[in-house]
Amino acid sequence: MTDPLKLRHPFFRPRWRRIAIVVFLAIWAAVEFLGGSPLWGYGIGALAAYTGWEYFLNFDPANYADPTDTKDEDAT
């Protein structure tokens, strides 16, 4: 499956980073609404909802593995 927004990068594997991104986007959306820009608020709110779904409801640690990691997992 392709990842057009590059959300499945190994950088986002730690839970605190995923929480920080979703909270940041939710606060940004609230600021846009309170500032009188509902179009930007809806757009950033949709992005916050999508990242929340991707990072928490659809999270699979295997999707966030580092592809350059050459550790041989079959060796005993």
pLDDT at position 71 is: 60
Cα–Cα distance measured from residue 24 to residue 28, given in angstroms and rounded to the nearest whole number: 6
Sign of CA dihedral 36, 51, 49, 15: negative
pLDDT in tens, 3-53: 666 777 778 888 899 999 999 999 999 999 999 999 999 999 999 999 999
∠ CA 25-63-54, nearest 5°, is 30
Is pLDDT above 50 for 64? yes
Greater confidence (60 vs 48) lies with 48
pLDDT at position 2 is: 63
Asked if residues 64 and 8 have their Cβ atoms less than 8 Å apart, the reply is: yes
